[in-house]
């Protein structure tokens, strides 16, 4: 029983961070049809921005979260306005943007390295202390991570499913030309999606840095895992990505407990290979059927 709750708590905390990272990645892929290789750096910059503001002004965690959100959204919007916008609709967009965002990621990582140095800092923005659930020790910060992820993901779900704004995003993702025929400005939708995904990435970065440390490379591992999650869920399937984030995190936590933490990620990669052999379109992906 204690083992189970330990695995559950570790898995849910991990899953919250993965979900924040992969929901945004999936949203971008679904709407713009691009892999955002710079997504990991959106996380890193979100974490560093809130670190800097915290060091300068000693803000509470809640303000730190807002800073991370704002920074992430800003960097997402800038990426769209300065780069993606000019490449959309050109030949081989999918491949070119992959390379371009990977380049942006390297550039941003070097900038972070230049400004902050390579020394890993502890994140000052976190809640100290522990509580016990049954016989299992849980840090307050883990509960904060879980709560923040739940609030944000439910918020995004509400936005996408229940508002006119979200309906336009979904319509653009399903059929860009049709959405434009309804009067939707696709360019504005793309900008909003980049802002939304960047915002989630910024918070993900802050949350990850509270569980580990700040370093210029901190975004690499979560980016890889977010990609794995998006592929397993089915590319561009936002709900699937949210669910798979928690599912895979629980599996990773279980394997980490029974076999050792170093087997967690390899096991995830094995699982991806199996899923892709068995269901190439992903667990929640649909085979595309073309009808007249």
Q: Which residues contact another protein (rule: CB under 8 A)?
A: 164, 167-168, 170-171, 174-175, 177-185, 289, 291-292
Beta carbon nearer to another protein, 86 or 165: 165
Beta carbon nearer to another protein, 144 or 238: 238
Give one DSSP letter per residue of 20-51, joined into a string: HHHHHHHHHHHHH----TTHHHHHHHHHHHHH
Beta carbon nearer to another protein, 47 or 156: 156
CB of 229 to another protein, least distance (A): 20
CB of 160 to another protein, least distance (A): 11
Taking the C-alpha atoms of residue 212 and residue 41, their distance in angstroms, rounded to an integer, is 16
Ordered alpha helix ranges (H), the chain? 2-32, 39-57, 61-79, 85-87, 93-116, 140-162, 164-174, 176-181, 186-211, 220-233, 238-259, 264-278
Beta carbon nearer to another protein, 86 or 259: 86
282: CB partners within 8 A, 6+ apart: 231, 232, 233, 234, 235, 237, 240, 275
CB of 263 to another protein, least distance (A): 37
Beta carbon nearer to another protein, 154 or 182: 182
Q: In this structure, what are the phi and psi dihedrals at residue 138, rounded to the nearest 5 degrees?
A: -125, 130
- Exposed, middle or buried by CB within 10 Å (0-12, 13-18, 19+), for 116? middle
CB of 288 to another protein, least distance (A): 10
CB of 286 to another protein, least distance (A): 8
Q: In this structure, what are the phi and psi dihedrals at residue 216, rounded to the nearest 5 degrees?
A: -60, -25
Q: What does the chain come to in residues?
A: 292
CB of 179 to another protein, least distance (A): 7
Beta carbon nearer to another protein, 85 or 257: 85
Beta carbon nearer to another protein, 178 or 217: 178
CB of 289 to another protein, least distance (A): 8
Spell out the SS3 assignment of 117-140. CCCCECCCCCCCCEEEECCEEEEH
Residue 265 burial (CB count, 10 A): 16
DSSP 83: I
């Amino acid at each position: 029983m204690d083992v189970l709750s330990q695995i559950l708590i570790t898995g849910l905390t991990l899953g919250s961070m993965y979900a924040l990272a992969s929901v945004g990645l999936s949203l971008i892929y679904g709407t713009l049809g691009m892999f955002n290789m710079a997504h990991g750096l959106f996380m890193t910059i979100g974490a560093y921005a809130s670190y800097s503001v915290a060091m300068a002004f000693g803000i509470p965690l809640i303000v730190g979260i807002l800073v991370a959100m704002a920074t992430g959204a800003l960097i997402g919007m800038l990426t769209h306005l300065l780069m993606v916008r000019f490449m959309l609709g050109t030949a081989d967009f999918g491949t070119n943007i992959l390379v371009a965002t990977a380049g942006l990621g390297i550039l941003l990582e070097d900038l972070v390295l230049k400004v902050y140095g390579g020394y890993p800092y502890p994140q000052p923005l976190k809640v100290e202390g522990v509580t016990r659930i049954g016989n299992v020790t849980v840090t307050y910060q883990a509960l904060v991570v879980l709560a923040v992820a739940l609030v944000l993901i439910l918020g995004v779900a509400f936005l996408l499913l229940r508002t006119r704004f979200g309906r336009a995003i979904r319509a653009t993702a399903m059929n860009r030309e049709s959405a434009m025929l309804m009067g939707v400005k696709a360019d504005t939708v793309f900008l909003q999606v980049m802002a939304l995904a960047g915002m989630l990435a910024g918070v993900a970065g802050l949350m990850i840095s509270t569980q580990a440390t700040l370093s210029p490379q901190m975004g690499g591992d979560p980016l890889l895992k977010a990609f794995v999650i998006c592929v397993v869920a089915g590319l561009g399937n936002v709900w699937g990505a949210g669910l798979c984030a928690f599912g895979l995190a629980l599996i990773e936590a279980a394997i980490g407990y029974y076999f050792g933490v170093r087997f967690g990620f390899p096991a995830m990669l094995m699982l991806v290979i199996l899923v892709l052999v068995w269901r190439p379109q992903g667990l929640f992906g649909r085979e595309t059927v073309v009808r007249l």
